[in-house]
Each structure stands twice: as structure tokens, then as C-alpha cells.
Chains A and B, each alone.
Chain A
Amino acid sequence: MRTGNRLALALGKGLGSTSRLFKVGGGSTLPGRAARILSPSLVPNMVKELPLGCVLVTGTNGKTTTAALLAGILDRAGMTPVHNRTGANLMAGIASALIKESDLGGHLAGRIGLFEVDEAALPAAVAETSPRLVLVNNLFRDQLDRYGELDTLASLMKEAVRTLDPESIVVLNADDPLVASIGRDLPHRVLYYGIDTDRYGSGSMQHAADSTHCAECGSRLTYEYYLFGHMGQYKCPACGTSRPESRVSAVELEMVELEGTRCRVRHPGGETTLFIPLPGLYNVYNVLAAMSCALALEIEIGTIKEGIEEFKAAFGRVERVEAEGRHMLMILAKNPAGLNEVIRTLTGGAGRKNVVLALNDNIADGRDVSWIWDVDFEMLRDRLGKVVCSGIRAADMALRVKYAELGEDSLAVEPDLETALDRGLEMVKPGETIYLVPTYTAMLELRRSMVKRGLVAPYWEG
């Protein structure tokens, strides 16, 4: 390593332990930000130390869960990933993960880099890490206030993927028309995955659907069925472009309420039956994505199955916490597609669900809260019991609930998250479940409050 890199590394390591020591956080971005300013070539030089190269995981929804699933599999396969597992997914987060896992000479404890990357940061991440594999899971409207429009984002991503080493592999979701279009005419090896059964398909689309026009010619796509947002079995009636054939496919699905999903997956090596211990169709996609990456990295299918079946959710995404004899189930919902899927999950099972909906509008949540009007809250009619709306924009959330004509009898507005957590626990009896549905920074805050109450461990110890 060059002297500049060494200095930057030493500074980064110092900042990381300081921020953990003073409990200002896990040190997940500050060390990397500082070190990269001091030495811009730090990341490109450090990744050269990884004998098995780098894998990048991107897409609007499910990055953290997919990367965590893949990390579990890589670990089992003895590939020891260096992984930005706290979900800090801009370049600074990647640099911080590398710094944390390295000694002062730049020698890394891991053998393969596994980085979840913000969609807009993909071009920079490709340039700096020269990945051997790039996964794109889905593209939804998320924080358009940061990214501009979805089509523009997709073409920037496509350009970035084109610059990959010719030996690199690209793993894409066949069911998402915009994502699938990234693989069209790409000289690289492309592995498509998807859901090949209409068991949970529907004839109409949720409001959160985004990409309904052909990426090639702009015509309106026609769908045999929709699965999740704009994902499904589609084709373009004008130019004939259609969903590419998926080589890793879920051919049978059976959802078991909030527990998870049983599925049969067809892949190039045969068929495998497994139980996904995470709820919702979106987690089926996350699992198919992680499986496809693992197969592309030539990991044996038995190891992959074990890694998935014994997976514990990344912090906050889906977290089960026990408190005062009550069950709390916290499910992160950071955009319309994600929240729609959470709602679909909540409609399952008997009885009315008691929920705390927490809406923040910090930069990491997106300043614009209008996305809640793209969510089909109406699906919850007659399914909700007591509702507490919380977070900085609690009143906006309460209005959405009101205009969906839900929770008329018991709709409380409590912006303070700590108090909302208390209210939530008060409104269910011991043995019952309270569902917490927060946006990203509201989730962090709720979790801090749970740490303080001794209910969960801090995420950097998790």
C-alpha cells in the first residue's frame, strides 16, 4: 500500500473505534468518509487485497436483506465476506467496512467483498471496486427527490454495468421490466431469476407500480399477471420485448402467514425445496436474488439452502421483540412498494391487527412524504384494530389512514416515538402482538428506545 493509503486507513480505524467508544453509533460511515477524503485511491487499492473479488448488491427494495442472506451463505461456504452489513451503502459506507475489517497494513480478514450499494452510487461503486458480480433486484420509486426519474437512473446503471470486466456476471430480476432491460444486448454473462407461478398473481396492479412501459419502445406493457408492484409476467405488444426466461425460478409458493414462505426453486442444477423464514413476496425475491448470486459464485446448493433456512433478518427489516409479555413485530417500510407488501402481509391471519405506523421525513427517509398516498391502505379495511400514528409526520400518516376510512374508533396521533411505543404496548394484552411499521430513521429511533429498555442489543453488536 502507498503511504497515503496507510495514513488514511490509520485515521479511519481511529475514528471507527472512537465513535463506537463514545456510542455515537457503529462508526459505519464516518471513518470511510474521512479516509476517502485523505486518500481517494483507498478503496480501489484495498479491494485488490480480496482474493475472491467483490460482489455488489443494488436495487430499491431488499438490498440489506439480500446482502445479509448472501453473507450467511458465503460464510458457510468458507468465503468470509467483508460486508457493509449496517446498510451504510454509499461509498463512505463501503470504505468504512473495508477499514473495519483490515489491519493497519491494509491486510483484510475477509476473502470476498460483499457490498450493498445505493442505486445512485452504483456507477462510483463499479468504478472503485471492479466487481466480479453485480446484482440488481428491483427499481421502484423510492427517493425521487434524490435521484431524479427512474428511467434516468436505469440508464445510468446500465452504462455502469457496461463498463464491467468482460468476465463479470450480472444477476437481474426478470420480473421487473426496467431491471431486465439492463441485461438486454449486454455482452456479459447475465443470470435472470424470477417467480414462475401465478399463485399469488393478480389481474390488477397496486398503485405503487412504476415501470409499466416498455424500456425499448415506450409502449404500454401488457401483463398476464402482476406479482408485486410492476413485477410480473409482462410483454410489449408493440415491439415484442417480453420477460426474459429466468434460470433461477420459484415454481411453487405457499405463504405461511407472517412466518415465511415454502417454495420450490428450479435452477440450472435441478430443483430444491426450501422454507424462507421471512414473510412476504418481496422476501421471495430477496432469496431468489441471493441464491442466484451464490450459484453464480459456484457455491453448492446444499450450502445455499442451509444459509437461507437458518437466516435471521437484518436488524429492523423484520424484527421480533418480546416486551412485557407482549410480542412486537417491527417491519421496516421505506417506500410505497415495501409498505404495500407489509400491508398485504398484515391482511393475512385471523383477527384485527393493532399497529403503530411511524413516518419520518429525514433525508434518509426522503423529505417528501407524498408516497404514502401511493400505498393501498384501503386493503386493510376491517382488518385493523387500534392505530397509533407516530414520527415527525404523524399527522400526515393519520390523514392517510382517515381517508382510507380505517381506524375511526381508535386513531391516535403521537409524534413522539418513545411515547408511541408505550401506547402500543398498552393497547394490547399480554400474549398479543403489536405491529410496528416505521420508515428508516423512525426504525433506528424505535430500536434505540428498545436498546435503552434492554429489549434488544445495539446493532453494531448484533
Chain B
Amino acid sequence: MQIKIGYLYPDLMNIYGDHGNVLTLVKRCQWRGIAVEVVALNPGDRIGHGEYDIFFMGGGQDREQVMVCRDLQEAKGEDIKREIEEGAAALVICGGYQLFGNFYRPFEGEELPGISVFDAYTVAGKKRCIGNVVAKSALGGKLGTVVGFENHSGKTYLGDGCAPLGTVTVGYGNNGEDKTEGATYRGAIGTYLHGSLLPKNPAVADFLIEKALARRGNDISLEGLDDSLELAAHAAAVKRAVKTH
């Protein structure tokens, strides 16, 4: 068994420790004996048909986000969409999440077009949403909680073509209004949560790995790992989120 991760713009979109998500995917594969390869996808690089099983993109600062937006439109967007339709998994965080929607509308200046993996759009907000987040989620048909840290001023609204990742019980989530957090469409997950997200939400990590394996025709359920430390960190973060709210 082997999977290949396409790490989108690691030099441009790497704010807030998002790199930990890729590390978590890699380790959780290796610990199960699944071979895994990570390939950096920089501006100008192309995405071959069926080449990648999981795409990852983190958040970035405004200037980097504009550069990435341009490259997605010119070089990668259509191919990523096709791959996700064909079963590839994806995790995109914060700025990456916004660019996977339909568009981002700033206060002034031009709208940034997204690649429309998610039927969602983002508008610039006046208030920065910062703090710990806890959301109830039914990702992969399993009920559970997702915990992380949000830091965004964009407000994201979902359309009918995607589902939220979860319902916020602590924090702001997508827009601070409708209690939704993140978006899912097929094997793709978009979210505002840093933390890094995957280390202390191992169920989300394993969801992505299972999707990636299924795409390669390995329809198996994953071997369990000793997640006692992961679950302890998850529980401590939830407790802290409630306390600092």
C-alpha cells in the first residue's frame, strides 16, 4: 500500500503550525506500514491525472494568498477539482479553505476567485475571530468532537453543494452567525482550525488516510493505533476551550 500527498505551496501557505498536519498524516501511515510520499507543489507545478491521493494546503498572509490564488487559477485549480471528483482526499485550512470556495471578497479591491471545490464564499469581516473552538462533527458517519484554534477575519458562508464539518459549541466557526464550522465535500475537508488540527483530532487524520487508500482500491478499515496521548491532548484542549471562552 502506498499513498502520495500533494503539499500545496509549503513555502507560501504555512502559517500557524499547519505543517504538523502533514507530519501527522505521514507518521500515522508509517506506523501502520503504509508507504507515504510527500511532494511539494509550488507555483507553476502541474498536477498529473491520478497522481496524488491527498492534497493539503495551510493558511497564509494576504500577500501570499494573492500569489496562490493566481497560481490556482492558472495552473492547478481545474486539476484539483477533477481529482477530488474522482476520489482524492484534501485538507485545507484557513486561507487554503477560503481559496477552495467560490470567491473571497475583500473590503476594497478585487474579488479573489476560488476554485469552487466547496460551494461556499467568504467576505472580509471587521472583527477578527480568535480563540479555541470545539465543534460536534459527524465526519465519516461517526459522531465526535473536533477541537482547534481559529484566527481569521473572513466570514465564510456555505451553499447547498457542501456540508459543514461540524456545529460549533465553543468559538465562532465559519462566520460567527450560523454555528457552522468548516466544510466537507466528498473526501475534501476545509476548516478554520489550527492546532495543528490533525495531531489531536486523529479521527480526522484517519478519515483522510482511509479515503486515500480507497482511491487506490484498498477498501479496508485502518488498523488502530495507540492514541492515548492524542485523546488526552484532545480532552485537555476541549477543557481549556470551555474554560478560556
Binding site for B on A (CB under 8 A): 141, 144-145, 148-151, 207, 212-213, 218, 220, 336, 361, 367-374, 392-396, 398-400, 402-403, 405, 413, 415
Contact = CB atoms under 8 A, between A and B. Distances in A.
B103 interface: no
B200 to A, nearest CB: 6
Nearest to A149: B61
Given A371-B17, A373-B19, 19 more contacts: A144-B151, A149-B62, A151-B63, A218-B63, A220-B11, A368-B194, A370-B194, A371-B16, A374-B16, A393-B237, A395-B236, A396-B237, A398-B232, A399-B200, A399-B229, A400-B20, A403-B20, A403-B27, A413-B229
Contacts of B64: 213
B229 A398 contact: yes
A237 to B, nearest CB: 14
Interface in B28-71: 61-64, 67
25 contacts: A145-B130, A151-B61, A151-B63, A207-B19, A218-B63, A220-B11, A367-B244, A368-B16, A368-B130, A368-B149, A370-B17, A370-B20, A370-B194, A373-B20, A392-B240, A393-B236, A395-B200, A395-B235, A395-B236, A396-B199, A396-B200, A396-B233, A400-B199, A403-B20, A413-B232
Tell which of B17, B23, B235 has the most Cβ of chain A within 10 Å: B17
A151 B62 contact: yes
| The 8 A-B residue pairs with the shortest CB-CB distance in the complex, in nearest-first order | A373-B20, A373-B17, A370-B17, A395-B233, A370-B194, A368-B149, A395-B236, A373-B196
Contact of B16 (A148, A151, A370): A370
A141 B58 CA distance: 16
Interface in B1-31: 11, 14-20, 23-24, 27
A148 B170 CA distance: 22
Tell which of A148, A213, A368 has the most Cβ of chain B within 10 Å: A368
A218 B61 CA distance: 12
A151 B244 CA distance: 28
Interface of B: 11, 14-20, 23-24, 27, 61-64, 67, 128, 130-132, 149, 151, 194-196, 199-200, 229-230, 232-233, 235-237, 240, 244
Contact of B233 (A213, A336, A368, A399): A399
B230 A399 contact: yes
Contact of A395 (B19, B132, B232): B232
Contacts of A369: 149, 195
Contacts of A148: 128
A28 to B, nearest CB: 24
